[in-house]
Amino acid sequence: MAESLYEFDSGGDTDLVLVTNRLHFQWKRDLLWLGTDEETSTDDASAEHEESPRELSEDMEIVSEENACEEPAEDASYERFDEPLGEDQSTDGQIRMRLRVSSRHLILASRVFRAMLEGPFKEGSVPQSGRRQISASKWDPEALITLMNIIHGRHREVPRSLSLEALAHFAIVVDYYGCHEVVEVFANMWLKILERNRPSEYAKDCMLWLLTSWVFSHSDLFKCAMDMTLRQSRKLVVAMDLPIPGEVLSKIDQKRQEALTKFFEYVYNLFDSLCDQDHCSLECSCMLLGHLTKELKRNGILSPRVTSPFDGHSVKTVRAMVKEFKTLENWDDDHCVATGLYYRDEQKSVPTCNARTYLDPVVKSMTEGFHGLKLDDFSCLIDRN
């Protein structure tokens, strides 16, 4: 397939050459990556990390778009040439584009382009042809075209809305070239439209929200995506080659582990104390110990005991587990010599010595440390100048 030429400036002195495949965000378990179906399979990605402490535990469906390998639609607003340009032939499955642009526009909009074109790099030297060349790869074609339209003031060619995945592709390009300011108005417009459909579950879209809200500094959407990740991730999230700082993902997992540490330490301390001493009475302690033992064994956490980093467990799964603890019934009214109190659950009177009576308060308090985590906490990592 011959390369395509797009002119953003008829007098452009620079060619930006993009060679890429159609790339899609892939998601499985707690791993997010960007690649083609041909070059990266979920099995390969999982195998690559199987010896890592970040190995994954929750299966999630991979979502891919239809017609993944179609060429970009032809845009009549561009002066486009489809004839072969000498050696610029692309191989099967690849998309090759030449974007004729203005170096002055690039320099004003992007610190990275400025360094390339004004620094001691090959892009800064002017060849005999008089036109400099910048090479690029792995960018989404539409994302790069949209960015060049914005940089060159071709705002009528900029879409008024983007899908979440398209915006995530765009965010990756913007973050790499460091041109956040020039796209700010459009990014805010797209985010305002998209935020009507915030993610409802921890899956690929949640991570794309985290990515886009980070790149475009949208604090409210960032907090929404981060809170969902805090509660539902089961491991340290791995975002391969994507601009979500490792410090952000590590902080999320740190908070997850702190919450789970609080729960599992309490559970095992309660178990040990029931083995060593009576709580209310011998009868109560024996029944509570037996109840707790059976529930821990049924959920596979009795032996061996669960320890940090608690891979495979999330705040959400722990809450669901405790909620499913079976209820002890048919006790005498004076079962508890210490209090005689009852725990109300679904209109049934349940003894205070029931396992859930002890565990519900600690489950409720697990997320107390989550509320203060926000975008501003990572301001030292944000460099938008």
In a domain, 272, yes or no: yes
Q: How is the beta sheet containing 31-35 ordered, strand by strand?
A: 24-28, 31-35, 238-239
Query: Could you report how far apart the first and last alpha carbons of the chain are, in Å?
Result: 39
pLDDT at 68: 32
In a domain, 215, yes or no: no
pLDDT at 86: 34
CA–CA dist 45, 55 (Å, integer): 10
In a domain, 333, yes or no: yes
Structural domain including 333 reads 255-369
CA–CA dist 202, 354 (Å, integer): 32
pLDDT at 18: 95
218-265 per-position pLDDT tens digit: 999 999 999 999 999 999 999 998 999 999 999 999 999 999 999 999
In a domain, 320, yes or no: yes
- The tally of CA atoms less than 13 A away on the side-chain side of residue 191 is 24
How many domains is the chain built from?
1
CA–CA dist 30, 224 (Å, integer): 18
pTM confidence score: 0.78
203-208, Cβ contacts within 8 angstroms, sequence gap of 24 or more: 203/27, 203/60, 203/61, 204/25, 204/27, 204/32, 204/60, 204/62, 204/63, 205/164, 207/25, 207/27, 207/32, 207/237, 207/239, 207/244, 208/25, 208/164, 208/165, 208/167, 208/168
pLDDT at 357: 82
In a domain, 2, yes or no: no
pLDDT at 91: 53
Of 368, 261, 359, which Cα lies nearest the Cα of 309? 261
Task: Report residues of the chain scoring pLDDT below 70.
Answer: 1-2, 36-92, 120-128, 278-280, 328-353, 369, 371-372, 383-385
In a domain, 343, yes or no: yes
In a domain, 175, yes or no: no
pLDDT at 218: 94
pLDDT at 311: 96
In a domain, 358, yes or no: yes
pLDDT at 378: 83
